Amino acid sequence: MSSSLAGRVIVVTGSGRGLGREHALLLAREGASVVVNDLDEDGHGPAHDVVKEIHAFGGQAVADSHSVTTWDSAAQIVDTAISAFGRLDGLVCNAGFLRDRMLVNMTDAEWDDIIKVHQYGTFYVLRHAAAHWRGRHKAGEEVNASVVTTTAISGLHSNVGQVNYGAAKAAIALMTVSASRELERYGVRVNAISPLARTRLTVGSLGSGDHGNSDPDDSLSPAHASPLVAWLLSPECASNSQVYGVFGRQIHRYTGWTSAESATAEEDWTPDSVAAALRGWPDHYDPGFIPGLPEPTPAS
C-alpha cells in the first residue's frame, strides 16, 4: 500500500472470522495495533486465533470478547484499546450475522437479533469511540481518527427475505453520513463499505466455496474488501461521508436517495389530481442493482 498505518490503534468488531479477520490481518501487516473483537469464551475462540496469527508475523494485537449489543460492553471494547495501547485511532464496525426469513414468517426475535447486533452494535461502539475522540479534541489534541462502518447490498438495493437485515444496513448507511457530519469538527472521518464476499454467513446465498478463502483470484474472497478499509483508516485519506461498494476488484461509490420524477399542483392536491399528476410514473421500485455484481439471494 502507498501509506502506512504504523502507530495507529484500531478496533475491528466481529473480527474472528470472515471479513473482519481479513481486515484485522491486513491492518496489522500495515503496522496498526489491532483490537480483535469477537465473542470468545474462557480465552479461547476465533479472536484469540487471529491474534496468534498476527503475533506470528510480528504484528501487534490483543483479543477482546465483549459484545457490541449493550451499552456497557461496547464501552469496554473501546476501553480495551486504550488500556492495551494507550489510545484509539480507528474503528471498523463489522460485527454481524444473518437471520434470513420471508416477512410473513419472520419472528420478533429474528427481527430484534439483527437490529441489536448490526444497528445497535454499530451505534454503541461508535458512540463510545466518538466520546473518546471528542474528549481528546477538547483537551487540545489534534485528532486524526477514522471510522469504517459496514452496510450491505440489502440495505442499499433491498433483497428478498432480508427485511430485518436490510433495514439495519440501510440505517447504518444513514448513520454513517450523519455521524460524519457531526464528528468532522473533532477530526474524525466516518465512511461505510458495502462488501460482497463469500463468508460463513453468505455461503448459502453466494455459493458453497471455501468461505475462508483469501485467494485473490476468487472474486468473492473477503480479502478484496480489506485494502479499501485500510485506506479509509489511513491518516493520509481525506474521504468522509462516503459509502463504497466493493466486490472483487471493483469499487463503487454510492450516493443517497435522489428525487426522480416531480410534480407541482397549482391548487391543493386532491386524490384525482394526484392520480393525474403521477400518471405515467413507474409503478414499481427499481433497486438499481449494479451490473456485473452477482446479486445475492437469501440463505433461507
- Residue positions annotated with a catalytic role: 165
CA 72 to chain centre: 21
CA 162, CA 159: separation in Å to the nearest integer? 6
From residue 119, alpha-carbon distances to 99, 195, 201, 300 in Å are 14, 17, 17, 21
206-225 burial, b for 16+ CB within 10 Å, e for fewer?
beeeebebeeeebbbbbbbb
What 8-state DSSP symbol labels residue 245? E
CA 279, CA 260: separation in Å to the nearest integer? 14
CA 186, CA 109: separation in Å to the nearest integer? 37
From residue 48, alpha-carbon distances to 16, 82, 285, 300 in Å are 8, 19, 45, 31
Strand order in the sheet with 145-150: 60-64, 33-37, 9-12, 90-92, 145-150, 188-195, 243-247, 250-254
Output the DSSP codes for 137-171: HHTT----EEEEEE--HHHHT--TT-HHHHHHHHH
- Directed axis angle between helix 121-138 and helix 71-85, to 10°? 50
